[in-house]
Amino acid sequence: MIDWMIEKDLVGYETAVSKMEERVASIRGGQADEAVWLLEHPSLYTAGTSAKESDLLDARFPVFKSGRGGEYTYHGPGQRVAYVSLDLRERQKGNPDVRGYVRSLEEWIIRTLAVFGVKGERRAGRVGIWVDMVPYGGREGEEAKIAAIGVRIRRWVTYHGIAINLNPDLSHFGGIVPCGISEYGVTSLHALGHKDVDMAALDRALKENFHSVFES
């Protein structure tokens, strides 16, 4: 059983990490169900375990060191963060597969974006989900990142998760080299013209497609 939690107010990063860690311990101990926690953060930057100091260009917002994998990323209002706590050992029948889990997260994002007519794609050597910008007036070869992925696993229970750009202030990504990749930009559903999509619609698509990916 999945416990779906949706926050109406912004959640501070340190508060979120503390609650995730408590949930992981409870799941591991058999005291809590698996969970998906949907929220927004106030504007901030997080540094994953592979972050390079040189990729922090302008610390205009608070910066937090994070135990998740990956490099620097931005979180802020208008971005849907989904923190996912699943017991991989239970789900994968005693043979937990971290790469398979990350691929499922990618597929979850791709199917969710497809609900709104956006083709999200994987790219070899680049973490996250990307959009070919040519159909949106971009030049040949231009791509932009629409969703980030960063996970941590403790005793085979997952936490951290994904972030999809609905309508954040994209200029805020300018304070970092997002995920260490400077050649490509960032985009959002609204920037791609899907301004009729609100957070409630995105949440519905996330929930529907989570079950199609993780419960099939």
The 10s digit of each residue's pLDDT in 4-25 is 999 999 999 999 999 999 999 9
Closest CA to 125 of 137, 143, 111: 143
Q: What is the CATH number of domain 2-214?
A: 3.30.930.10
* 209 HSE (CA, 13 A, CB side): 19
CA–CA distance, 70 with 47 (Å, rounded to integer): 8
Which H or E element spans position 11?
none
Closest CA to 7 of 109, 76, 81, 68: 81
Looking at residue 10, its amino acid is L
The 10s digit of each residue's pLDDT in 64-85 is 999 898 899 999 999 999 999 9
pLDDT for position 216:
61
The verdict on whether 179 is a catalytic residue reads: yes
The 10s digit of each residue's pLDDT in 151-201 is 999 999 999 999 999 999 999 999 999 877 778 899 999 999 999 999 999
The 10s digit of each residue's pLDDT in 138-152 is 999 999 999 999 999
CA–CA distance, 85 with 2 (Å, rounded to integer): 9
Considering 16, 127, 131, 179, which one is annotated as catalytic? 179
Closest CA to 3 of 75, 83, 107, 88: 83
